[in-house]
């Protein structure tokens, strides 16, 4: 009997560790979770930045593995939608402010209203919550606020006899003409006007500078109104008068950055990420001291300044099987500590960051411009059908820029087609 009891005790001792190990392996803390993140391979944070953020997150959360994927902006929406309709949707995705209405209508994103820490609600700039909130529900986290800024080459302006940058669209035109006439640079202005959303961003800023809007009070598109027509006429005049680099109609943001940084343009519109790169000797051939940045000036007698939002947010996809881990990852990327650490290419969304001497150091003019832009910037339409509307406008605006139809005809035809799909 004693031998039997001893054998039973020995057996229990051997089995219990195995049982305990099995229990430990089944706990949420020890189970390995794999997340898939889709981001953007241009502007804002670099791929290296995001991968470094992600590596730090995984160190803090050893049971979570995050696989990152990056595509150009032009592929980001389609990639998100295609994956959502497949058996392998992403868990966390980067979302442009113009897509939140569409994604919300399609119930593609989780409602995270009740799961956002109070410190985030209080600490992030108010404008950040505007574009990620639809129908009273928060469906994303603001990852960066951005606007297109007017970049100018200080040395070129000085050679042309100008001590200060333009204070209106009219002055921008006249300064560019003087720079061309004095043969400082042949095509003083370069814009990203390829048939893509980049074109709409540039046009939106000029539209805003003329006090125009995409839609009237009824929600109908009305770009053939006075403000919209003036904006397109302005772009056409820049091209026809030889002030706009003719390759602008094929350029995206990275293209115009390289042209400006090579010293082949005096003015361009681009996002804040370009500021650091234009001053980086490894990326730019112009002197860091020659890089000027400001909010786009408005048209005389209409507006002092103009800014259009190009903000983006992180969102948890509704089909994720790991919503808590996905939100944890998104919150980490949006945290103040992480954003302050990686603020070289993209300013943080946190209020307190703008008063931090470390954030201001070496780029006070960018911080000043950003503060102003974020206080006045408008948004492109929050419309579930915006993507289709944008494609139509891109086509007709380009037709006008190529001289195939008049600006007035272009906008009238485009507005007619767009309102038909509403």
Per-residue pLDDT of 76-99, as tens digits, reads 999 999 999 999 999 999 999 999
Residue 285 has pLDDT above 80, yes or no: yes
Query: How many Cβ atoms are within 10 Å of 234's Cβ, its own excluded?
Result: 20
Length in residues, the chain: 422
**Max CA separation in the chain (angstroms):** 110
Dist CA 202 CA 52 (whole Å): 31
DSSP single-letter state for residue 422 = -
Residue 30 has a pLDDT of 59
- pLDDT bin (cut points 50, 70, 90) of residue 332 is very high
Q: Which CATH number fits domain 149-308+385-420: 3.30.2090.10, 3.40.50.720, 3.40.190.10, 3.20.10.10?
A: 3.40.190.10
DSSP single-letter state for residue 194 = S
For 214-234, the pLDDT digits (tens) are 988 888 898 867 799 999 999
Dist CA 67 CA 360 (whole Å): 33
Residue 50 has pLDDT above 70, yes or no: yes
Across 160-168, average pLDDT: 98
Residue 43 has a pLDDT of 66
For 337-392, the pLDDT digits (tens) are 999 999 887 889 999 998 889 888 888 899 999 988 988 888 888 888 999 999 99
Across 386-402, average pLDDT: 96
DSSP single-letter state for residue 295 = P
Whether residue 223 contacts residue 394, with contact meaning beta carbons closer than 8 Å, is answered with no
Task: Annotate 128-164 with three-state secondary structure.
Answer: HHHHHEECCEECCEEEECCECEEEEEHHHHHHCCCCC
Residue 198 has pLDDT above 50, yes or no: yes
pLDDT > 90: percent of the chain: 75
Q: Is the pTM of this model over 0.85?
A: no
Residue 51 has a pLDDT of 97
Task: State which H helix or E strand residue 203 sits in.
Answer: helix 197-209
Dist CA 384 CA 379 (whole Å): 14
Dist CA 121 CA 393 (whole Å): 36
Residue 219 has a pLDDT of 81
Q: Where in the chain is the domain with CATH 3.40.190.10?
A: 33-146+310-376, 149-308+385-420
Dist CA 245 CA 192 (whole Å): 10
Residue 383 has a pLDDT of 85
Of the candidate ranges 18-32, 254-268, 315-329, the one whose mean pLDDT is the lowest: 18-32
Q: Which residues pair with 135 in a beta bridge?
A: none
Residue 393 has pLDDT above 90, yes or no: yes
Residue 24 has pLDDT above 60, yes or no: no
What is the domain class of 33-146+310-376 according to CATH? alpha beta
Residue 354 has a pLDDT of 86
Residue 29 has a pLDDT of 53
Residue 22 has a pLDDT of 37
Whether residue 313 contacts residue 143, with contact meaning beta carbons closer than 8 Å, is answered with yes
Residue 49 has pLDDT above 80, yes or no: yes
């Amino acid at each position: 009997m004693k031998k039997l009891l001893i054998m039973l005790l020995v057996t229990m001792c051997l089995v219990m560790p195995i049982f305990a190990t099995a229990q430990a392996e089944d706990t949420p803390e020890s189970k390995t979770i794999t997340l898939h993140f889709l981001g953007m391979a241009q502007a804002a944070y670099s791929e290296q930045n995001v991968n470094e953020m992600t590596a730090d997150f995984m160190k803090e959360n050893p049971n979570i593995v995050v696989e990152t994927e990056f595509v150009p902006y032009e592929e980001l929406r389609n990639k998100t939608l295609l994956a959502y309709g497949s058996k392998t949707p992403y868990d966390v995705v980067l979302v442009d402010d113009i897509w939140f209405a569409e994604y919300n209508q399609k119930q593609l994103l989780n409602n995270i209203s009740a799961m956002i820490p109070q410190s985030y609600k209080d600490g992030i700039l108010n404008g950040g919550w505007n574009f990620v909130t639809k129908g009273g529900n928060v469906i994303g986290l603001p990852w960066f606020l951005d606007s297109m800024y007017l970049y100018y080459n200080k040395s070129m302006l000085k050679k042309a006899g100008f001590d200060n940058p333009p204070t209106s669209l009219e002055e921008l035109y006249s300064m560019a003409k003087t720079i061309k006439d004095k043969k400082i640079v042949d095509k003083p202005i370069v814009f990203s006007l390829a048939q893509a959303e980049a074109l709409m961003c540039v046009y939106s800023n000029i539209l805003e500078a003329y006090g125009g809007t995409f839609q009237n009070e009824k929600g109908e598109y009305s770009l053939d109104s006075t403000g919209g027509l003036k904006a397109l006429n302005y772009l056409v005049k820049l091209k026809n008068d030889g002030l706009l680099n003719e390759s602008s109609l094929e350029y995206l943001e990275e293209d115009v950055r390289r042209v400006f940084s090579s010293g082949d343009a005096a003015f361009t519109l681009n996002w804040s990420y370009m500021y650091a790169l234009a001053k980086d000797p490894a990326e730019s051939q112009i002197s860091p001291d020659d890089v000027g940045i400001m909010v786009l000036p408005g048209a005389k007698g209409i507006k002092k300044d103009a800014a259009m939002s190009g903000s983006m947010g992180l969102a948890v996809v509704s089909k994720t099987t790991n919503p808590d881990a996905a939100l944890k990852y998104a919150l980490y990327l949006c945290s103040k500590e992480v954003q302050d650490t990686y603020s070289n290419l993209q300013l943080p969304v946190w209020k307190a960051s703008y008063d931090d001497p470390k954030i201001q150091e070496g780029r006070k003019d960018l911080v000043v411009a950003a503060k102003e832009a974020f206080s006045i910037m408008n948004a492109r339409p929050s419309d579930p059908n915006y993507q289709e509307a944008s494609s139509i406008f891109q086509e007709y605006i380009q037709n006008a820029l190529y001289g195939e139809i008049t600006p007035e005809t272009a906008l009238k035809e485009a507005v007619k087609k767009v309102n038909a799909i509403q």
